[in-house]
């Protein structure tokens, strides 16, 4: 029985009553669908990048990378003015090899001027141990950091990393005067802290950066790396010549103080999810969630961190695409870390530049890296957006350019001496600039492509392998060039060969397609989300109809 104001006194059968409610439910469902369609249309409208929260986060990340790499490279320039080169050179007066004699004769008219001998008599082997100590710490935290960043987000981890490394950096001048072993231990601590940073960045990208903006915004963040090197090397060379506090300690005091300030800014402004950011507009929030995996992976990135997160370790370690990434990343980093840790020594020992020129010229290649990373990131995004090439082919193209071109240039650099020192610097600038093709549009973005839900873990594993060259290359350079600077030729040949090997492997086996084990996770989350949405809609309809 059913009655209404329109049908007072009329009696309806059960079939008629059922039809009436079904018709009313359809009308309600249509009404809610219209609202849903309007909401989706808003979500698909691109929000301006200028003055957006995601752009501000990218720039804060940019400054974080400046601090990270300035602390990472400040030791390489500081050692030039911390060490007493005259005392060390006198040890090898009677042990020069024929190639070293040739080099001395060629450069007999070129003298290093205005170099300041520091208080420490540390051999090349000891300097290699100090430089390599950082990477012993750096390798420890890559995989754990990837898991923790995916599990809890990047807010507290990134901030704590810079805070700890900055505190340790401020203690370096005191520790160096006590014993070089304490200096090396502090380098290990700094490396442990810095090992968490790259996984945090990849998780930040997964949560905050839409896919079609990934190349440009990640380029903004990662260009902090070369800018940090520019800052540390150029200002470090200048500070070495100052008399205030002996000059070289200022390098560590400056980068340490900057890091403490940055860590407070990051933890105040950044949030692990766009949904929990206090300043973001609803339009930008909906746009980001619609174009990232954040909504699909909400269980692992909530600020509360209560949900369970399971990493597909077996699938990652048996994935061909992952191993191709691991190999090219490792091979590329061999050349990168050789340059990062040893260019100031090469400028001083082989090209015979004084300490002021050394700092500026050692920093000059990173200007090229900075500009090229921004350029290639925008170009790669455009190629993908216009569908000129697939994502996989784009990554392979830029990785090829970023590895093969430096390999060729290194071969030419191996035959230059201090008589052609400015041409050698030019080749260094070109070689390191073209290496940036890999950063803006190459393999450095593959972890986000193949497994956006597990990007922090995949990159953490990759960076673990890619840290080994930092340990190995410092020892190789120290052992080869300790008594014979002419062996820098061998150093360049080794780097060139490793570049080529990594490129071949990535071209054959690399991919940027999302992997099945990552797709399964995304698909299941989508299904569960849709089911919950439908159940919620149905319950709402029933409630309204009953009332």
Residue-wise DSSP of 54-110:
HHHHHHHHHHHHHHHHHHHHHHHHHHHHHB-HHHHHGGGTT---HHHHHHHHHTTT-
CATH number at residue 421: 1.20.1250.20
Tokens read off for 539: 């319950």
The answer as to whether 543 is a domain residue is no
Q: Are 189 and 131 in contact (CB under 8 A)?
A: no
Tokens read off for 532: 């919950």
Q: Which DSSP category does 83 fall into?
A: B
The low-confidence residues of the chain, meaning pLDDT below 70, are 1-49, 84-118, 291-309, 355, 520-547
* pLDDT computed for residue 301 by the predictor: 45
Q: Which residues of 127-156 are buried (b: 16+ CB within 10 A; e: fewer)?
A: bbbbbbbbbbbbbbbbbebbbbbbbbbbbb
The answer as to whether 108 is a domain residue is no
Residue 83 main-chain phi, psi, to 5 deg: -95, 145
Q: Are 194 and 340 in contact (CB under 8 A)?
A: no
114 conformational bin, left if phi > 0, alpha if psi -120 to 50, beta if neither: left
The answer as to whether 29 is a domain residue is no
CB count, 10 Å around CB of 372?
22
CB count, 10 Å around CB of 336?
23
Q: Are 470 and 132 in contact (CB under 8 A)?
A: yes
Tokens read off for 113: 């001027």
- 9: three-class secondary structure by DSSP: coil
Radius of gyration of the chain (CA): 28
CB count, 10 Å around CB of 408?
14
Number of residues that make up the chain: 547
Q: Are 347 and 480 in contact (CB under 8 A)?
A: no
Tokens read off for 250: 């200022």
Cα–Cα distance for residue pair 508/244, rounded to 1 Å: 55
The residues with which 120 forms a beta bridge, in sequence order, are 83
The answer as to whether 488 is a domain residue is yes
Distance of CA 510 to the CA centre of its chain: 19
The answer as to whether 96 is a domain residue is no
Cα–Cα distance for residue pair 442/392, rounded to 1 Å: 9
Q: What is the 3-state secondary structure (H, E, C) of 258-315?
A: HHHHHHHHHHHHCCCCHHHCCCCCHHHHHHHHHCCCCCCCHHHHCCCCCCCCCCCHHH
Which residue's structure tokens are 């006590």?
178
Angle at 379 (CA atoms; ends 508, 411), nearest 5 degrees: 55
Query: In sequence order, which residues have a C-beta less than 8 Å from that of residue 116 and are 6 or more positions away?
Result: 81, 240, 241, 247, 355
Closest CA relative to residue 291, chosen from 39, 37, 35, 45: 45
The answer as to whether 334 is a domain residue is yes
Residue 295: burial class (beta carbons within 10 Å; 0-12, 13-18, 19+): middle
Cα–Cα distance for residue pair 353/357, rounded to 1 Å: 6
Query: In sequence order, which residues have a C-beta less than 8 Å from that of residue 479 and are 6 or more positions away?
Result: 125, 128
- 465: three-class secondary structure by DSSP: helix
Closest CA relative to residue 406, chosen from 441, 459, 365: 365
Q: Are 224 and 63 in contact (CB under 8 A)?
A: yes
Q: Which residues of 165-201 are buried (b: 16+ CB within 10 A; e: fewer)?
A: bbbbbbbbbebbeeebeebbebbbbbbbbbbbbbbbb
What tens digit of pLDDT does each residue of 371-404 get? 887 788 788 888 988 889 898 999 999 999 999 9
* pLDDT computed for residue 527 by the predictor: 40
Tokens read off for 454: 């597990």
Cα–Cα distance for residue pair 493/487, rounded to 1 Å: 10
Q: Give the domain extent around 398.
A: 51-87+118-272+316-533
Cα–Cα distance for residue pair 547/541, rounded to 1 Å: 10
Q: Are 323 and 466 in contact (CB under 8 A)?
A: no
Closest CA relative to residue 172, chosen from 79, 68, 236, 253: 253
The answer as to whether 419 is a domain residue is yes
Give me the number of domains the chain comprises.
1
Closest CA relative to residue 162, chosen from 217, 116, 120, 200: 200
Cα–Cα distance for residue pair 541/324, rounded to 1 Å: 51
* pLDDT computed for residue 1 by the predictor: 45
The answer as to whether 458 is a domain residue is yes
């Amino acid at each position: 029985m059913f009655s209404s104001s329109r049908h007072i006194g009329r009696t309806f059968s059960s079939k008629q009553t059922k039809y009436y409610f079904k018709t009313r439910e359809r009308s309600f469902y249509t009404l809610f669908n219209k609202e849903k369609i309007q909401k989706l249309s808003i979500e698909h409208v691109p929000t301006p990048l200028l003055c957006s929260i995601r752009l501000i986060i990218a720039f804060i990340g940019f400054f974080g990378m400046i601090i990270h790499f300035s602390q990472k490279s400040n030791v390489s320039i500081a050692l030039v003015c911390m060490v007493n080169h005259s005392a060390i050179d006198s040890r090898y007066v009677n042990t020069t090899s024929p190639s070293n004699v040739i080099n001395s004769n060629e450069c007999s008219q070129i003298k290093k001027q205005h170099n300041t001998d520091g208080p420490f008599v540390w051999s090349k082997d000891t300097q290699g141990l100090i430089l390599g100590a950082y990477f012993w710490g750096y390798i420890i935290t890559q995989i754990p950091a990837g898991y923790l960043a995916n599990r809890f987000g990047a807010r507290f981890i990134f901030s704590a990393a810079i805070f700890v490394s900055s505190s340790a950096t401020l203690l370096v001048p005191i520790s160096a005067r006590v014993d070089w072993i304490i200096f090396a231990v502090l380098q290990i601590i700094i490396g442990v802290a810095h090992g968490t940073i790259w996984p945090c960045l990849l998780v930040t990208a997964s949560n905050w950066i839409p896919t079609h903006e990934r190349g440009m915004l990640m380029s903004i963040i990662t260009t902090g790396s070369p800018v940090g090197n520019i800052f540390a090397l150029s200002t470090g060379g200048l500070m070495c010549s100052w008399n205030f506090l002996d000059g070289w300690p200022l390098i560590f005091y400056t980068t340490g103080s900057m890091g403490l300030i940055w860590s407070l800014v990051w933890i105040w402004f950044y949030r692990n999810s766009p949904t929990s950011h206090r300043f973001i507009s609803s339009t930008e929030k909906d746009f980001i969630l619609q174009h990232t995996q954040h909504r699909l992976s909400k269980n692992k990135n909530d600020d509360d961190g209560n949900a369970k997160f399971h990493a597909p370790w077996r699938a990652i370690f048996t994935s061909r695409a992952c191993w191709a990434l691991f190999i090219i990343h490792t091979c590329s980093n061999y050349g990168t870390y050789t340059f990062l840790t040893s260019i100031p020594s090469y400028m001083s020992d082989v090209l015979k530049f004084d300490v002021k020129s050394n700092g500026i010229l050692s920093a000059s290649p990173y200007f090229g890296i900075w500009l090229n990373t921004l350029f290639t990131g925008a170009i790669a995004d455009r190629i993908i957006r216009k569908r000129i090439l697939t994502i996989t082919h784009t990554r392979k193209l830029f990785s090829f350019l970023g590895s093969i071109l430096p390999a060729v240039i290194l071969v030419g650099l191996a035959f230059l001496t201090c008589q052609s020192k400015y041409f050698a610097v030019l080749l260094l600038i070109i070689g390191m600039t073209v290496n940036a093709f890999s950063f803006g549009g190459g393999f450095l973005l593959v972890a986000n492509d193949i497994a956006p839900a597990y990007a922090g873990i995949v990159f953490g594993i990759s960076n673990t392998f890619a840290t080994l060259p930092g340990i190995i290359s410092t020892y190789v350079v120290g052992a080869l060039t300790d008594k014979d600077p002419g062996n820098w030729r061998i150093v360049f040949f080794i780097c060139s060969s490793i570049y080529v090997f990594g490129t071949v492997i990535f071209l054959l086996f690399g991919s940027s397609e999302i992997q099945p084990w990552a797709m399964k996770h995304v698909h299941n989350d989508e299904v569960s989300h849709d089911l919950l949405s439908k159940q919620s809609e149905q319950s709402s309809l029933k409630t309204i109809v009953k009332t």
